Chain A
């Protein structure tokens, strides 16, 4: 764990957020992932609660329904994107219209658009690659931060060396 409460990139099983106003979808997906994976699952029927969760907890993959009360899936994924851009965003919708798909891809840089009824094997593949993608993004960010740190330490040392000579 680092200071802001997030795990370092590689030491945790993928954290998967599932949001659907239908409890049955969450229960089914939870049963499937629990049987087949070691993922940490967080299920919400309330999009607002899910958004608040994502603003305070690490999420690797966010799977959201489209048609929900309070906010739709695209609005929810947009909030999750703002809170943690590295998280991979998946829309799982029974409302198969091209317009919402295009909107989702353009507005929230969707990782994958899936339709109900979904295929478990395909969903698993998507979540695994989404989690891997999130991990790589976080690692990349940490490396950049390390490089920045090293760079500024180097500069400080250089300045001290120059000062010592002068």
Chain B
């Protein structure tokens, strides 16, 4: 853990965060791609073989092989339909990855935050598949001025953490609301929750409850940096061991006059650890 604490110097934090997020996501993405890929490869073989058989039947047409030929055509048609669905699935995963691939050096933009969160949810599904139910409760929001890719990383990080906290089946809820010029985002899960000690240290760089090699304890520390320092917002969590966890994010709709490297406004830091 000590090496992680050292490595979390602000200069290195963005790179580290990228690596941590990439590593965690990779396993999920591989799973999400391998299933449709398996189908596509298998279908290609079956379609080739069916076409060979059909070609042989056409070379020597007999009335009694007509029914068999029809069945082969039917099989090929249904497999082609599956290939289309499977390819769409792979494309969605890759599109999501591209979107989150590079976050540094981006300029602030006004975006539809609900859509952004929806995209993060889609990508996070790569991590947990159908094991976890996702409930989205989005309020009407104005366009929010923010660093979209950084914010995407925060969402993704919270969602992946939430998924890891849930053993077996469970639910993740994402909620957005507009409150007095501030956008409120809550991400909660029905997972194992945190003990008081874990909760107190959750945002501390290098702190992780994951087994060695699975988490470097940087995700929430950087999430706080992104929300508080870059967006002048707040991030906090509430949780009871055995009863899930909720992360609260608040960011102003219009960013202040501060640039991305500017100091946090006084009092903007969350009181929650």
If the complex has contacts A67-B129, A94-B30, are A120 and B36 also in contact, measured as CB distance less than 8 A?
no
Contact between A94 and B35 (Cβ–Cβ < 8 Å)?
yes
CA A27 – CA B86 in complex, angstroms? 12
Contact with A along B23-53 (1 / 0, CB 8 A): 0000100111111111111110110011000
Contact between B79 and A118 (Cβ–Cβ < 8 Å)?
no
A95 in contact (CB, < 8 A):
yes
Interface footprint category on B: 20 to 34
Contact between A94 and B78 (Cβ–Cβ < 8 Å)?
no
Contact between B43 and A116 (Cβ–Cβ < 8 Å)?
no
Q: Which of B38, B42, B75, B129 has most chain A Cβ within 10 Å?
A: B38
Contact between B50 and A35 (Cβ–Cβ < 8 Å)?
yes
Contact with B along A43-72 (1 / 0, CB 8 A): 000000000000000000000000111100
If the complex has contacts A24-B86, A69-B131, are A31 and B43 also in contact, measured as CB distance less than 8 A?
yes
B69 in contact (CB, < 8 A):
no
Contact between A28 and B131 (Cβ–Cβ < 8 Å)?
no
A148 in contact (CB, < 8 A):
no
Residues of B within 8 A of A (CB): 27, 30-43, 45-46, 49-50, 75, 78-79, 82, 85-86, 129-131, 169
Residues of A within 8 A of B (CB): 20-22, 24-25, 27-29, 31-32, 34-36, 67-70, 94-97, 115-120
Known: A27-B82, A117-B34. 12 other contacts (CB 8 A): A24-B36, A24-B39, A24-B86, A25-B39, A28-B42, A28-B82, A31-B46, A35-B49, A35-B50, A67-B31, A117-B40, A120-B45
The 8 closest A-B pairs by CB, nearest first: A94-B34, A117-B38, A116-B38, A116-B34, A28-B39, A117-B37, A94-B31, A28-B42
